Each structure stands twice: as structure tokens, then as C-alpha cells.
Structure 1
Amino acid sequence: MRRIAASAPAGGALALLLGSLALLAAGCGGGRVKDWQVGGLGTTLTQIQHRARSEGKLDLVVRPGFPTNLPVAAFTRQTGCEVTTRTATSVDLVDSKATKGSDGVLVAGDAMLRLIDKGMVAPVNFDLVPGYRDVVEALKGRLFDTVEGTGYAVPQGRAANLELFRTDYLPSDTSSWAPIWSPSLKGRISIYDDPIFIADAALYLETTRPSLRITNPYELDGKQFAVAIRLLRRQRQIIGEYWNTATIKEQVASFASGQSLVGTTWPRQVALLEAEQPPVAVTAVKPSEGATGWADAWMISSKAKHPNCTYLWLDYVVSPEANARVAELFREAPSNTRACEFTTDAGYCDAVHAQDEEWWKDVHLWTVPQKNCGAARGDVCKSYDDWRKAWVALRTGRPE
């Protein structure tokens, strides 16, 4: 079997999760698309630019939680493509309704391979995206967006999942994930509500339970997975709130009020808290055990109605200035190596470690868990289907 190259419940979020689980079981879509030539797409940049003028339209979908106020005015002036941007209607982008009618979609690494496997997106011909050459090398050809040497995405940016805590309750030099697992903070812990959070448990166990021999938090065999789920079930008893892409502002309010004292968060919430008045006594760190994280990237629908406008967007959005502006919207490190010259805040790239590759070495970017763990281990790992079923069982209080 080939290995794909890569990374009381909240009612609304849980309902979406249960619904997408049923959809996954039923199956949808076809197999992987291997040809980059989407119907009607030109074969040269000149041809694409000409055909885009005739298309005159571009429909984009961004994953839940990502801003929709993208810098599109200059793009429309340059290309003649009027842009419509909307948020996916489901947290699970593999739900065909979530991105229905879209030409391009902004996706995180925990969904890319599933979209690829369902035939919902097409490969990218990077020769027709000149700006791709300036993308940081660490984001090219990654396991979460590349299959058997074929790339399917143009990176937008990357970010780490951070530990956020109130410095008026926890020591300001806190540098471990230990507090989010501590019973002493029962009811004051805030945790991301998604199956991919299982990887955060695995990462913590990699350090605290070395006998498990976890080397990749997204590649867990039966024993490793079982221990991670047991840890998460114990944590469930002490969590004060679960948050998701729809409740980002609620997490901010929870820390601002002091209801939550520690938890996992994204750089965007940190920025929102930093802007609070009066100031909130919080800080966010990448703990010593390392962190999980994600890369966002643009993909083209295999059934795009406006493929030429889509290709021009892929090139435009990864250009230095546009890439900087979009990255700042979501507090990500931009993917273009020259983008830092165009950020509105001169210190922005230092704050998000955009050019500090050493900092990223222990950030494990989200990938879709696969049954196959590579030649050395074979088909012994738990798949994304297993992860999702286990998370639903945990959140609903069902037995393992």
C-alpha cells in the first residue's frame, strides 16, 4: 500500500463533526486527480491572462475562521477577474457542500490530503505560478500537500499552536505544556475542539512517555493512539471550555475575564488579547516540548469554472505584497521570502518568526493521519477516520 506523501460539548461544532463523520462513512467524490489541466485552462501565462479576461470572475472559499476581507481590488484591476470570497459552510472541507461552486479554496494541512484523495482539487503546475519560486523552501513539497512528487497547493502562510496563559496566575517563565493537563487548574483550561488535537497529546507524550517511542505526532500505532486518547479523556474532566473556529472571540473573552487561565491558542487570539483595553495579563509561548501548527495554502478545484482567473490568483496571492497583507490578516508567517519587506508593521515578521527556520524545527505542521506509516512500519497507524471517531466518542462521553 502506497504512503501518501505529506502532516458538555459545544452543540454546533459537535453537530458539524457528527455530520461530517456520517458523510465520510458514506463516501463521496472520486479518486485523486493527477492532471493539472483543468478544463478550459490555458497552457501558457499569456493564454491564461487572455482567457481570464473572458472569464471575468473568481469564486474563492476560505476555511472557517479565516478572514474574508482579502486584498482583491488590485488583483481585479490587473486581471479583470471580479472576486467573491466566502467562508466554507462546514468545518469539514471534504463535505462537498462546504466549498460548492468554488474555483479556489484556502485549506489547512489537516484537510489537504483528504481533498486530494476525493478528487476535489487538481495538481498545480508551478511553472504557471511564477511567484512560487519565492516561497520559503520549508513549505515546498511537504507531506500534507504533495502526493508521489505531485504538488497540489500554493502556500499562504504558517503558524504554531501556542500555549496561552494568564501571567497573574501562572509563573511568567512557564515553558511546558504541563499546565493544560494539570488537575490543579480544573475548570480554567481552554482547548481546541478538533480531532487534530490528538496530535498535541501525542507530542506531549513523546517527551513525558519516551517508552512509547512516538517520533511523529501524526503517525500513531494502536498502543500510542490508545495512550493519547486516555490522556485526553482524563483532560476532558478538567477542561473549562473547548473552542473552535466559530468561537475565537469567546476564547479571547474567557481569558480577558480570567475565567480561563491556560490553554492552546492561535497567534490571532494573542493579537486580539494584546489589543484589549485595559491590558490583559497574558502571554503565549511555544513550550519546550515543541508544538503542533499548520500551513494554510491555496488549492484549485478540479471542477473550477474559472480556472484561468484561479491561476492568476494563485500567482497574485503568493506575490510579496499580497502575501504579506493576507498573512497579517490571520497573524501567520508569510510564505513568500520577500513578503517581510511589505508588512504594515516593521516588526511583524520577527514576531511571527517568518525568517527563523530554527524556531520552526520543533513545530509539527498539521497533516492528515494515514494508516500507512512508511516502509519501516507499514500499515499499523491510525487513520484520520480513526482519529475523528475517537474524538467524537470523547466529546460525547461515549466509551472507547
Structure 2
Amino acid sequence: MRSKLIPGAAAAAVAALVLTGCSTSSDDTGAGGLSIDVPDVPTHEELGDYEGSVDIVAWSGFVEPAWSDAFTDETGCVVNRRVAGTSDEMVQLMRSGDFDLVSASGDASLRLIAGGDVAPLNLELIPNFGDDIVEGMKGQIYDTINGKSYGVPIGRGANILQYNSEVVAEEPTSWDIAWEADSPYAGQIIAYDAPIYIADAAVYLMAHEPDLGITNPYALDETQLAAAIDLLKQQNGIVSEYWADPAAQITSFIGGNTVAGTSWEVLRKLTEDEKFKSVLPEEGSTGWSDAWMLSAEADNPNCAYAWMDYTSSPEVNGAIAMNFGMAPANAAFCDLNDEAAAHCDYYNATDEEYFEKVWFWTTPIEQCIDGRTDIQCTNFQQWTDAWLTVKG
């Protein structure tokens, strides 16, 4: 779903990310978000009459009749859905001006903010964005800029290490079996196919090559990026295949072509075989966090705000999370019933200690988001170009 970029569209997708602006300190990477220069897009001040429809670009499973029909009955706003298969496609569709909302992941959100394609939100118009939204999804660096929120959290997940326990008999504690050339499972490792996967290499290097000085896997200078690419090229020698399509990843595990590699919690669950297990290794991992974002040129902003509020309720947010397979943003869902509680437990929904080990996708930009001001970091275009060299 969050599959690889279309190379021919890369230049347009990253054009807005050669940024200059205010420096950021490490304190800016938490609740305060990031401080950079971005286009001045006005915030919707108050709700008006519903326009009668809302046009949404979303991941598959995020906008379904089970809840969109009820929303239409309640508001009169007809929901028009366009399913997107990649973050790059979402960026392009939002820049067309034809859509009011998008369910953006962190590898798309900063592109949209920097391009002036989405508007800062008036959270007072979204009552369900309240105390029950998990703290780890509020005010994050990928969707909170200059103290303004651009995203309403939907759900999150970690990119975990999945393995076939009949082959990998002892539970792994490290990513080393997926990265080191002497892995006993060489030739049976699966890896994610996208430029943002460079950050996974950076996470591993943070733990195993601390002299590189990497403190944020999305803030890499040229030397650090080169080290990550070297590690990825090394991994290429033990990889059986790369995946972008979740169905292909599942098929690879079930068919025995793969015994270990990067996965999402839901993919392990969908294999429906107890021999497939997963773990968040000691080095930590990357992850993804999705949020509703409002077009700067929305034709239906009132229906869009109504949708963001409606889908932030415990019941609907939980339904989306269960349908897609992720941790919900609204923690109150976890207390609704036993099924909800079991879902939240499986996806570590309210376990902030778990998610403290997860570096959520954030678009790399030239301003170093780790707080460094004396050096320029590599941007998304450079990552895209570098990724093309990995597989040869």
C-alpha cells in the first residue's frame, strides 16, 4: 500500500522539499513539531453549511461503506473515495486540486505541507480530537509545523521483523539476521522496496556504528547516507526479494522463498499460520503513522471537517484500524469491548514504551531535523536517486 515511488514522478514529488528556514532543536521533534519555512495557508475559522459531498484520497480500507454511508445519513455529505496505492500517488492526486482530504503517511505529509498543498487545521472544529487521542500521535515532526497541526491521526504501526519460527527456531533479538552478510538465512531475506527504506538501514547503523553520529534516521548528511547505501548494497547480497505489494510479501513467506525480513503486524497476522512470528528488535525500527490532511484548496471544507471529526470517534476510528490492521489513534476504542481490547493489545495501541522505539516515516529534507545547523542534510530526491543504485 505504501509502495515504492514511481521514478518518473520523483522530481515533481520532491520539488517542494529543498527547504530553508528556522533551525530546529531536538526539543522540536516531539510535541512542538518542526520549525521550517512553509507556505502561509489560512486555517478554516468556523464551520458553515455542509456542501453535500467530500472527495477523499485514501489507503484501501480507510473509507468503506460500513461507516461512510452512516456519515452521509448523519450529515448529508456524500463520500467520494479514490483509493491510492502509493504515497507518491497521493501527493500527485492532492496537487490536482480535485480532492478535499487525504489519509497521508509520514513519507507524504511533509511534502504536502512544504508544497502548500494542505492547510493547518483548526482543532477546535474537531471535538473528537481530544484527550483520548494517544499522545504518541499528537504534535509529531511529520505533521506539526511551526506549532500548527496539519494532521488528524488515524492509526500507526511499526515495521517489524517477521520470521518463520520453523526455520528461525530461536526468537531473534536483533535485525542482524536481515542485514549482515554472514546471516545464516542469506538468500531468504525479504526487504521493503522504497527509498524510505534507507531509514531502516540508518536505524541499524545507529546501534551498530555509533561513530557515524546518526541520531535521527531521516536526518542523514552525505557521509551518513553513503554509509546507509553501503549497508543496503550489502543486504542486497542476501535478499531473496523486495516487496512493495503486501500480497507479494505474504506469498513469499507462505511459499517458503522468505524466512525473515521486514513486515507489518497485519501482514504477519494475515499469513494465518502460527509458525510465522514477529518481533520489534533491540535496535528499534521504522514505522508509519497516518493522518487526515485537508487540501489547501478544498471545495468542501465543512464536510471535510465533519469527516475528520466523525472518523476520530472511538467507534469509527477503531473500525478503520481493525479493517486495515493497525493501532487506532483513539485509545477509547480499546475500552469498548473484548474484541476491541484484543485488537489494541495485538497492535500495542496504547503502549508508548513500545512506540518509543519506532521512528515514524518522515520525509528527509535539507534542513537537518535532528537539530544540526552547521551542516546540510540530504533530501528526498537524493534518497530516491541513491535508492536506485541499491539493487543494481
Q: With structure 2 as the length reference, what TM-score do the two structures score?
A: 0.87
Aligned-partner residue type, residue 215 of structure 2:
T
- Indicate the residue corresponding to 2:365 in structure 1: 370
Task: State yes or no: 1:267 paired with 2:265.
Answer: yes
Pick from 307, 310, 323: which aligns with 2:304? 310
Does the CA-based 8 Å contact 1:293-1:366 persist in structure 2? Answer: yes
Task: State yes or no: 1:34 paired with 2:24.
Answer: no
Pick from 101, 104, 110: which aligns with 1:113? 110
Alpha-carbon offset, residue 320 of structure 1: 0.8
Task: State yes or no: 1:352 paired with 2:347.
Answer: yes
Aligned-partner residue type, residue 199 of structure 2:
A
Q: 1:87 to 1:112 in 2, by over 3 A?
A: same
Alpha-carbon offset, residue 284 of structure 1: 0.8
- Classify the secondary structure of the residue corresponding to 1:219: coil
Aligned-partner residue type, residue 117 of structure 2:
M
Q: 1:352 to 1:158 in 2, by over 3 A?
A: same
- Indicate the residue corresponding to 2:380 in structure 1: 384
Correspondences of 1:1-400 after superposition (within 5 Å)? 17-24=6-13, 32-37=39-44, 43-44=45-46, 47-48=47-48, 51-52=49-50, 55-63=51-59, 67-69=62-64, 71-88=67-84, 91-92=87-88, 93-96=90-93, 101-133=98-130, 134-183=132-181, 184-244=184-244, 247-274=245-272, 279=273, 281-342=275-336, 344-373=339-368, 375-395=371-391, 397=392
Does the CA-based 8 Å contact 2:106-2:290 persist in structure 1? Answer: yes
Does the CA-based 8 Å contact 1:163-1:262 persist in structure 2? Answer: yes
- Indicate the residue corresponding to 1:9 in structure 2: none
- Classify the secondary structure of the residue corresponding to 2:107: coil
Q: Counterparts of 2:137 and 2:248 in 1: how far apart (Å)? A: 31
Alpha-carbon offset, residue 208 of structure 1: 1.0
Q: Counterparts of 1:88 and 1:100 in 2: how far apart (Å)? A: 15
Aligned-partner residue type, residue 253 of structure 1:
T
- Classify the secondary structure of the residue corresponding to 1:94: helix
Does the CA-based 8 Å contact 1:252-1:273 persist in structure 2? Answer: yes
- Indicate the residue corresponding to 1:4 in structure 2: none
Q: For residues 44-83 of structure 1, what are the alpha-carbon distances to aligned partners after superposition, in whole Å with 9 as ceiling and x for unaligned?
A: 3xx43xx11xx211111114x5554262122111111111
Does the CA-based 8 Å contact 2:94-2:295 persist in structure 1? Answer: no
Alpha-carbon offset, residue 280 of structure 1: 5.1
Alpha-carbon offset, residue 345 of structure 1: 4.1
Q: For residues 210-233 of structure 1, what are the alpha-carbon distances to aligned partners after superposition, in whole Å with 9 as ceiling and x for unaligned?
A: 211211111112211111100101
- Classify the secondary structure of the residue corresponding to 1:311: helix
Does the CA-based 8 Å contact 2:288-2:361 persist in structure 1? Answer: yes
Does the CA-based 8 Å contact 1:17-1:392 persist in structure 2? Answer: no
- Classify the secondary structure of the residue corresponding to 2:356: helix
Q: Which runs of 5+ in 2 are unaligned?
A: 18-37
Q: 1:181 to 1:163 in 2, by over 3 A?
A: same
CA root-mean-square deviation: 2.2
Q: For residues 230-264 of structure 1, what are the alpha-carbon distances to aligned partners after superposition, in whole Å with 9 as ceiling and x for unaligned?
A: 010111222111111xx211111111121111110
- Classify the secondary structure of the residue corresponding to 2:341: coil
Q: 1:68 to 1:188 in 2, by over 3 A?
A: farther
Q: 1:281 to 1:89 in 2, by over 3 A?
A: closer
Does the CA-based 8 Å contact 1:324-1:342 persist in structure 2? Answer: no
Aligned-partner residue type, residue 180 of structure 1:
A
Q: Counterparts of 1:149 and 1:319 in 2: how far apart (Å)? A: 24
- Classify the secondary structure of the residue corresponding to 2:352: coil
Q: For residues 340-365 of structure 1, what are the alpha-carbon distances to aligned partners after superposition, in whole Å with 9 as ceiling and x for unaligned?
A: 12364431111111111111111111
Q: For residues 171-198 of structure 1, what are the alpha-carbon distances to aligned partners after superposition, in whole Å with 9 as ceiling and x for unaligned?
A: 2321210111144433311111111111
Q: 1:248 to 1:89 in 2, by over 3 A?
A: closer
Q: Counterparts of 1:180 and 1:144 in 2: how far apart (Å)? A: 27
Aligned-partner residue type, residue 329 of structure 1:
N
Does the CA-based 8 Å contact 1:191-1:264 persist in structure 2? Answer: yes
Q: 1:378 to 1:87 in 2, by over 3 A?
A: farther
- Classify the secondary structure of the residue corresponding to 1:36: coil
Aligned-partner residue type, residue 364 of structure 1:
W
Query: How many residues end up aligned between the 2 structures?
Result: 363
Alpha-carbon offset, residue 339 of structure 1: 1.6
Higher alpha-carbon deviation: 257-266 or 95-104: 95-104
Q: For residues 107-164 of structure 1, what are the alpha-carbon distances to aligned partners after superposition, in whole Å with 9 as ceiling and x for unaligned?
A: 1011101011111111110011111113122211111001111110100011100101
Q: 1:142 to 1:345 in 2, by over 3 A?
A: closer
Q: For residues 318-356 of structure 1, what are the alpha-carbon distances to aligned partners after superposition, in whole Å with 9 as ceiling and x for unaligned?
A: 111111111111221111121212364431111111111
